[in-house]
Structure 1
């Protein structure tokens, strides 16, 4: 009997084809709900997930044949990894597969902000030709602070080569990584020197709302802020206040605290509208790690790690 794999998200056909070539029966259900997945996993050997479903104790207990869980992308906060591993289930992710995409998007958002590219483009669409009000700032000679120096943080640093910037990187759980154009730094150094700050952290109890009012006000300079990691790392009302009171020069956000727009409360809707209207804000719908290339590289890394 063929071993069965449940895929719970939209994926490139490469993943389905490779699994089938290796003799797996693939159940491809990109819109499956939590309860449907719980039932479907009863006879599955493998599970492929992204960020759509929470894989908790209840789901794991209903999957007696499950041998492995493959996470496309980075961040395992939606998977109860310790419990899964206690049941002999191997859990792997693929941050190597989309770190270049995230690094490129972070750099792109930064250049868009600093050079008023989005603002001036939207004005032109309304027939406004404005040069003085859209005079940009050069990245050259500035200091870029990176918080979290894993795959995406280091990829962003790599993309900054050639811009003649000083890169200061802080990682609470990693030491000895500073080399060449990247200097290992403390948060105090980032607060003192940074012109740009980019966050590349997983979502944990420790990082939730790390970027809050106290955080933004701790920087000596008015910074451009980037978040391509997890939306809940940022306290969004505090970020909006920092933008509106001039503490921040701009914000580039690929992720939001609540990414289900139809569920917004009136307060959330008001904050979102003010962010969208702010000339220094660039928002994208969680697409930084979603490139065409990454859609192949992520499953390749997952299956290679699993030996499939």
Structure 2
């Protein structure tokens, strides 16, 4: 973050922000903050950030790594969706970057560990598009059960094929949900309202909604379900979770839907199961490798498979979902930049102090990110011992820790001295002073 009014020799090691005499806690001159938004981030976010007075630059598409390395050098905050890759090389080129906003569910496009080591917090919106994904899956269940994808394609080719063989109602059928989180549980309610029986499998015991039932093993869910839909995060445990063995466990003529992560399903095995007729169809919205831009770049072994719906990662791509994501992530970015609040960060200790109105003008907020090693808090306590610390809170996550402290009755000289001593501690990653 930028310095404001105090000369700082190593800006990445710490910054003092905002010399003013307002009684409300304020961080700095917000016009100094430069924000880069890529991939057509929703206008709700653009407007919210511009209303803060930040400098906001927008681009409709992702940028290549080489372009991004040059572009990000003097950027304080970057907002991306799923196509932009924030690699170690890109992060190392970012001399002023303090926070990243992922305007989507996933964060696997960001080197999270390296970001945290550089004191860069990462925020996302894991739940805002849950309803949109659930509705897409319901639509795909109906489309697959009636083979509507194939009939539609035939009609566009001028081929009239009025058939009822292997076309079914979904009422009375069993839906198996793998992963009963926000999307899976919403889907459960929608499916039951359409007359489906719902089973779900999750790695932890969960309270079922409606009349849905949790099963104890993935195998039992696969063997019992007419439709299997996947809603799990990408982890080492879930990669290649559905392969040839699991597909053989599914009922002959059943259907597989994947709107979670592309690495969950082994695509060659799925294509084989579809072409052999073991599966009655599939709907896939996510793929192991996805094109970086719109256009004729998509290739997959699933192309041409019977009764197979392929969509370009649009599960959460509705106006409503994108608007909600824009609001949620932009507010998280604003709170972090302005107040130091890290609640909701995926790679950072979650720390917050209530923003308060100070009766005294000379009040500051210290935001100190440091290596998580023993003895640091003792050092900070010694530094702040002669000052009036109104509130203080700290937490750790992995190799880093984060402390916030509100301090009142400090002079301009004392503010600079606090900043200098804290930022010069051996474990310092980045220090900010907000006032």
TM normalised by structure 1 equals 0.89
Give the drift of 1:179: 3.3
Does 1:155 pair with 2:182?
no
- Provide the rounded CA distance (Å) in 2 between the counterparts of 1:295 and 1:81: 23
**Match for residue 279 of structure 1?**
306
Unaligned runs of 5+ in 2: 1-30, 336-435
Does 1:146 pair with 2:177?
yes
**Match for residue 106 of structure 1?**
137
**Match for residue 301 of structure 1?**
328
Higher mean displacement: 1-10 or 237-246: 1-10
**Match for residue 49 of structure 2?**
19
Give the drift of 1:220: 4.2
- Provide the rounded CA distance (Å) in 2 between the counterparts of 1:149 and 1:278: 29
1:122 alignment partner, one of 153, 166, 169: 153
SS in 2 for 1:231: coil
Name whichever structure is richer in helix by fraction: 1
SS in 2 for 1:232: coil
Q: 1:13 to 1:145 in 2, by over 3 A?
A: same
1:178 alignment partner, one of 205, 208, 214: 208
* Aligned residues of 1:193 and 1:221 also touching (Cα < 8 A): no
1:35 alignment partner, one of 50, 63, 66: 66
* Aligned residues of 1:95 and 1:152 also touching (Cα < 8 A): no
**Match for residue 77 of structure 1?**
108
- Provide the rounded CA distance (Å) in 2 between the counterparts of 1:223 and 1:262: 31
- Provide the rounded CA distance (Å) in 2 between the counterparts of 1:127 and 1:87: 59
Give the drift of 1:276: 3.6
Alignment of 1:198-237 (within 5 A): 198-237=229-268
* Aligned residues of 2:77 and 2:100 also touching (Cα < 8 A): yes
Give the drift of 1:126: 3.5
Does 1:190 pair with 2:221?
yes
Q: Deviations over 1:109-165 (max 9, x none)?
A: 111110122222222334443333556211111211111222322232232131222
* Aligned residues of 1:222 and 1:247 also touching (Cα < 8 A): yes
Give the drift of 1:280: 1.3
Task: Calculate the aligned-residue CA RMSD, in Å.
Answer: 2.2
SS in 2 for 1:204: coil
Unaligned runs of 5+ in 1: none
- Provide the rounded CA distance (Å) in 2 between the counterparts of 1:246 and 1:178: 33
Q: Which has the larger radius of gyration?
A: 2
Q: 1:35 to 1:149 in 2, by over 3 A?
A: farther
**Match for residue 7 of structure 1?**
37
* Aligned residues of 1:167 and 1:181 also touching (Cα < 8 A): yes
* Aligned residues of 2:222 and 2:228 also touching (Cα < 8 A): no
SS in 1 for 2:35: strand
- Provide the rounded CA distance (Å) in 2 between the counterparts of 1:49 and 1:177: 34
Give the drift of 1:221: 4.6
SS in 1 for 2:309: strand
